[in-house]
Amino acid sequence: MTGQSYAVSVPKGYRVGPWEIREPLASGAFATVYTARLAGGAQPDLPRQAALKFLPTGTRTPRQLRHLRELAEREVELLGRLRAPRLIRMYDTLTVDDPDHPELDGATVLVLEEAEGSLDVVLDRTPAPDSGPALLAQICEGLHQLHHAGWVHGDLKPANVLLMKDGTVRLADFNLAAEMEGTHAYAPAFATPDYTPPELLWSEMDERGTRIRPTADIWAFGVLAHVVLTGAFPLPGGSTEARADAATRYARGAEELRLSPQLPEAWREIVHDCLAPTHEDRSTRAAGTAALLRRVEEAAGTSPSARLPRLRPRKWRGPVLAAAVAAALLATATVTYALRDQDQAPAASAPASCEKPAMYEDETHGRGYTAGWNGTWDFVIKQGDGGSQVKEAQCLLKHRHGITQVGEVDGDFGPLTHAAVVTFQKRAGLDADGAVGPDTWRALRTAAKN
């Protein structure tokens, strides 16, 4: 053991699959991350260097077995199903098979994109760095991508924000992440109290864990923004317990929120809204990550049109197209406002289901059908993907557009789903590439029933 603080200790030079372990990078409550290099020849889908995250899930490991396995599964599932520009990329998962090292035998190993370091380390060295606003814009973007895909991070904090060589940001550590099931997700009963919203500090427990909602990440983002921009926590107190106590008093209305005077004016309202005391206030005032991202990018002074094209799928790249889309969105917004009142009642009384997709109104994209699984209009999914977006698309294909060849609605984008998408795209006069991107989503949601 190099030290007590390593969750898993792996000797230098140790081989796991094609990887040879180098130095430890970081260690957290559940796992230890090592750099590793590809031994032997180059492989087509693998980088030369990667970060290997070891979770001690072996059957002989004396430590907290059950929940570690669950935490490992959560991360593997999320990263296996979700790929987005601001989320750390997973190349592979391995299991250590080494009976001679009982401490390691059975450990789950995630092969991840290698980062330069974490935001935590940056803040240790330089509190309130100049790059803070730009970093926050990217973090918010990552959060948006995650929420958009129907997941809650559950543990957003500087240590879980990674910085890459090219200066971009990735969200990482999805051990506590949870996929939304209706209005809630179930997260394991762990938290980082300084980044936990007051309603979850002493929340009721189900046998499945804590019920959390996306606004938990919004609170964490508010705390993180305050920490990044001012170097101090937003709530007063010299210890985690004192600050957690201050958070509960604030949520009860017994104390006001006094943000640091060092917080730049442009950010004051954003942080204030993210730190709204209850879930309800937060969802009204911060109103989801799409709206939040726009405000954050404005405050950060990063021009969305100048920066975003790099990060979005190719279809969004051309500035001309982007302008056209913006104009189209404005146009739909006007129309939907006109339609809103007369149709709201029936929409509200008939909740959407997979079998009976219902009309709803998206703030940005206007009116369309949803099957209740996911509200995306532009998240690109294709064969090999999985998750709530896939389920949404499958439901719409099958029950809105009558394309039964999609097969079972299982959330896995397999060959049947691919074929169904191609059929639909041909019928709708779209590019029949089998991937569900912005155009296909729009058609799925708005095209007339066949």
Partner 1 sequence: MYSVIVVPPSCDGVDEQIRIASGERLAFGRAGTNGGLTIAHEGVPRVAGEITADRNFWLLSNFSEDQTYVVENPEGAGEHIKVAPGRMDAPVPFEFSRVVLPAAGDLLSFDVWAPRHVFRSVARHGLSGAATVQAFALDRTKRYFAVLAALCEPRLRGESRAPLPAVEQLVERLRPTWPTVSRSAVYWNIDYLAVKLRLRPGPDTADPGGPRQNGKKESLVSLALRFDLVREDDLTALADPTPVAPAAVAPAAVAPNGVIR
Annotated active-site positions, please?
155
CA 436, distance to chain mean position in Å, is: 19
Question: Judged by CB under 8 A, does residue 116 bind partner 1?
Answer: no
Question: Judged by CB under 8 A, does residue 395 bind partner 1?
Answer: no
Q: How far is the CB of 303 from partner 1 (least distance, A)?
A: 32
Applying CB under 8 A, which part among 25-33, 127-135, 362-370, 424-432 lies near partner 1? 25-33
Based on CB atoms, which residue is closest to partner 1, 242 or 323? Answer: 242
Site map for partner 1, 91-110, x if CB under 8 A? --xxx----------x-x--
CA distances from 389 to 47, 250, 353, 392, 438 (A): 28, 37, 14, 5, 12
Tell me the C-alpha distance between 139 and 156, whole Å: 9
Q: Tell the burial category of 203 from Cβ atoms under 10 Å away from its Cβ (0-12, 13-18, 19+).
A: middle
Question: Judged by CB under 8 A, does residue 450 bind partner 1?
Answer: no
Exactly one of 38, 46, 128, 201 binds partner 1 (CB under 8 A); that residue is 201
Exactly one of 23, 100, 166, 204 binds partner 1 (CB under 8 A); that residue is 204
CA distances from 59 to 71, 99, 102, 449 (A): 15, 11, 9, 53
CA distances from 186 to 26, 189, 208, 214, 450 (A): 27, 9, 6, 11, 38
Tell me the C-alpha distance between 51 and 68, whole Å: 19
CA distances from 310 to 86, 242, 370 (A): 12, 42, 29
Q: How far is the CB of 5 from partner 1 (least distance, A)?
A: 5
Question: Judged by CB under 8 A, does residue 280 bind partner 1?
Answer: no
Question: Judged by CB under 8 A, does residue 162 bind partner 1?
Answer: no
Bridge-based pairing state of the strands 161-163 and 32-38 = unpaired
Which positions from 287 through 346 interact with partner 1, judged by CB under 8 A? none
Do residues 61 and 41 make contact, with C-beta atoms less than 8 angstroms apart? no
Question: Judged by CB under 8 A, does residue 57 bind partner 1?
Answer: yes
Q: How far is the CB of 182 from partner 1 (least distance, A)?
A: 16
Q: How far is the CB of 7 from partner 1 (least distance, A)?
A: 9
Location of structure tokens 């508010």: 222
Question: Judged by CB under 8 A, does residue 72 bind partner 1?
Answer: yes
Question: Judged by CB under 8 A, does residue 34 bind partner 1?
Answer: no
Applying CB under 8 A, which part among 3-11, 350-358, 386-394, 414-422 lies near partner 1? 3-11
